[in-house]
């Protein structure tokens, strides 16, 4: 059952603007309808409001941790094994240059 975010309204947090949602969508390379922009504006604002509540929790005397339960890394030894030669690795590559895979640019340098 979905929980209402009405209980979060007690804490004053600025709501995300439509422009901020559009900027976030642009960063994520998403195209959103007006309805989706409004829906994400409400949902992301509720998440930020909840984060503001968490910021107010007194954690004095509680050591920082990445996990609430103790974790133990179980790792195999880091040993070199058999691998493909450069030619074998590139054999089925659609495009290669100077012994490397060549791919289309994925970064957009526009602000």
Domain count, the chain: 1
Confidence check: pLDDT of 11 > 70: no
In a domain, 104, yes or no: no
In a domain, 26, yes or no: yes
Task: State which residues form the domain around 46.
Answer: 7-55
Rounded CA-CA distance 45/21 in Å is: 10
In a domain, 33, yes or no: yes
Q: What is the CATH number of the domain that holds 41?
A: 1.10.20.60
What mean pLDDT, rounded, does the chain reach? 85
Task: Give the three-class secondary structure for 97.
Answer: strand
Confidence check: pLDDT of 80 > 60: yes
In a domain, 83, yes or no: no
In a domain, 71, yes or no: no
Confidence check: pLDDT of 45 > 90: yes
Buried b (16+ CB within 10 A) or exposed e, 15-44: ebeeeebeebeeeeeeebeeeebeebbeee
Element (H, E) at 101: strand 100-101
Rounded CA-CA distance 30/8 in Å is: 28
Strand partners, 100: 97
Mean pLDDT across the stretch 66-95?
Answer: 89
């Amino acid at each position: 059952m979905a929980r209402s975010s009405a209980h979060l309204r007690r804490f004053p947090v600025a709501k995300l603007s439509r422009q901020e949602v559009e900027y976030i969508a642009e960063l994520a390379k998403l195209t959103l309808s007006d309805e989706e922009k409004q829906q994400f504006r409400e949902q992301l604002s509720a998440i930020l409001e909840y984060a503001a509540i968490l910021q107010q929790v007194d954690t004095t005397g509680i050591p920082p941790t990445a996990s609430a339960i103790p974790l133990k890394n179980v790792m195999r030894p880091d040993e070199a094994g058999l691998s493909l030669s450069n030619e074998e690795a590139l054999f089925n590559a659609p495009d290669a240059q100077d012994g490397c895979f060549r791919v289309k640019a994925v970064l957009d340098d526009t602000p």
